[in-house]
Chains A and B, each alone.
Chain A
Amino acid sequence: MKSLTPPLLRCLCLNRSMDFIRPKRMLYFWIDKIRNVLLRLSWHLVHSIINLCYFTTGMVHALESHLISRGLLRKYKSLHISKIRYLAIVIESEDACRTSNVIELLQWLAALGIKHVSLYDNEGLLKKSKDIILEKFDGAVLFQDTHENNVLLDQPRMTLEFVSFYDGKEAVARAANVLLMKYIKSGGIGSNQGEQIFTESQMSEALKTVGSGGPEPDLLLIYGPARCHLGFPAWRMRYTEIQHMGPLTCMTYGSLIKAIYRFTTVRQNYGK
């Protein structure tokens, strides 16, 4: 009996403390739950306020864009369009099937005097529709890799290039295999000695060989929900100015002019 008492007592004490701990634990549990709910509500509130701010600035930009399109804002009347030699347009793949929007955009660019446009969408839907686009937009010729870049600018009509993911990372892999063949033929000179075997210009040549050697755009306009280049060929984007234009369905002539004007005011040091 005596030996049983301490465990019994301990059991009794534990029970008593359990009776005290359980409500306390429940209380902390509910405090935690309420705190999480309040945090979540605050997060949603903050984002609602941000969405409202963006809606308001969107209205202001739409008005400004309308005034620019009408030619009422003096600042945007004269554009130094010659500063843009190569322009790239990134389109969200879900919008890439809207060929009428794409053609309207190309018509605006042609009217402004842009000589070379690269149209990119990640999945290559624009590439698939290229015949339809070239047929309906008769102001352009298809870009051939064999063109030298300075020849592109002398063309009377716009040169149009269709780019997709195939011309990005996959093209670098194909170009790497071209260099690999050269490397094998040379007997693997410089192998594992830490020497530089390939140069950037050799890489550029290899990319041209595999059909993905287009020029580096001066300006890249993104028509999509986010400021994200969606995999535009990395090799061609070193010093490209990137601007987000919003969804393709909301494109306006005025916002295009504003983006080009902004580009013409930029000064680059190229690292110096």
Chain B
Amino acid sequence: MDGNRRYTKRWKLMQGAGHKVGYSALMSMLKYCYELGVRNVTIYAFSIDNFKRSPEEVQSLMDLMLDKIEELLREESIVNRYGIRVYFSGNLKLLNEPVRLAAERVMLATAKNSKAVLSICVAYTSTNEIVHAVQESCEEKWDEIALLNSSGGYEPDESDHLIKVTDIEKHMYMAFAPDPDIIIRTSGETRLSNFLLWQSANCYLYSPSVLWPEIGFRQFLWAILNFQRIQFYLDKKRKQS
């Protein structure tokens, strides 16, 4: 969702206005996705790198996020309309307490929804996700080894005690969701900026030049049509891996 600040500059708006318009664009895009039957949508709301911004900007983004997270809990919100289960993926300990508690409340409140899934990546980077998954895998193996040691069954040479790719994948923040089919990054930027690097191996990367607050159905439709052109190829690659 790149381009909110550029949108503010372009239209000479007050600071933070771009992000508010970006939020409306997000709601529209989510509606298009869920109406068309897309079951899993993941959004990159706040990167760990974004903490490097000025404290005022970070605080205003946190305030906006808190406000919008609490809106999700309301009866008439999009999550209830489409039966969406919400996940917050990332190192939530880096968030301030009100935002973290609000996120946990939303995850609990929507836990029974099963028609669609919305993953909101907050305080997230792929490299942090990988290190976290490796750490969890090490702790799991440590517990296994400790248990075997106590029962006298631990053999240091057995490969069962080594971490495999599947062990790491099951501890990823995004383990609950399948790998994405399309990643859209707006504003014409062609890099992933530490987003879903592990999960995007066989994924179509689409970079429309439009700024995020200006995105509409036209760009979404174009992404889908382009994806359909190469779907057979990507499915073949997925089966091979």
Chain A residues with a Cβ under 8 A of chain B: 46-47, 50-51, 122, 165, 168-170, 172-173, 175-177, 179-180, 183-184, 188, 191-192, 194, 196-200, 203, 225-231, 234-235, 237-243, 266, 268, 270-272
Contacts and interface: CB of A to CB of B under 8 A. Distances in A.
Interface in B60-106: 93
A196 B135 contact: yes
Interface of B: 47-53, 93, 125-128, 130-131, 134-135, 137-139, 141-143, 145-146, 162-165, 167-168, 189-194, 197-198, 200-206, 225-226, 228-230, 233-234, 237, 240-241
A151 to B, nearest CB: 24
Contacts of B191: 239-242, 268
20 contacts: A47-B225, A170-B165, A175-B134, A177-B163, A179-B138, A191-B143, A192-B139, A197-B135, A197-B139, A200-B131, A228-B202, A229-B201, A230-B202, A230-B237, A234-B197, A238-B125, A239-B194, A240-B191, A242-B191, A270-B49
Contact of A237 (B93, B128, B192): B192
B203 to A, nearest CB: 6
Contacts of B137: 176, 180
A271 B230 contact: no
Contact of B229 (A50, A228, A239, A268): A50
A203 B134 contact: yes
Nearest to B188: A266
Given A203-B134, A225-B230, A237-B192, A173 B49 contact: no
Contact of B230 (A175, A183, A226): A226
A179 B134 contact: yes
A200 B127 CA distance: 7
A190 to B, nearest CB: 9
Contacts of A239: 191, 193-194
Contact of B130 (A46, A172, A230, A270): A172
A235 B127 CA distance: 6
A191 B143 CA distance: 9
A231 B234 CA distance: 12
A198 B193 contact: no
Nearest to A201: B131
Contacts of B228: 47
Nearest to A168: B201
A224 B192 CA distance: 19
Given A176-B163, A234-B126, 4 more contacts: A192-B139, A228-B201, A242-B190, A271-B51
Contact of A173 (B47, B51, B139, B163): B163
A199 B91 CA distance: 13
A50 B229 CA distance: 9
Contacts of A122: 237, 240-241
B50 A184 contact: no
Q: Which 9 A-B pairs have the closest CB atoms?
A: A271-B49, A234-B197, A231-B201, A226-B230, A176-B163, A176-B134, A238-B194, A234-B198, A188-B142
A237 B142 contact: no
A72 to B, nearest CB: 26
Nearest to A244: B205
Contact of B134 (A172, A188, A194, A229): A172
A242 B192 contact: yes
Contacts of A243: 190
A235 B146 contact: no
A236 B237 CA distance: 21
B134 to A, nearest CB: 4
Among B131, B189, B197, residue most surrounded by chain A Cβ atoms (within 10 Å)? B131
Contacts of B240: 122
Contact of B241 (A165, A179, A237): A165
B135 A198 contact: yes
B112 to A, nearest CB: 27
Contacts of A227: 204-206
A231 to B, nearest CB: 4
B241 A231 contact: yes
Contacts of B203: 228
A169 B197 contact: no
Nearest to A188: B142
A200 B49 CA distance: 14
A191 B191 CA distance: 35
A237 B126 CA distance: 10
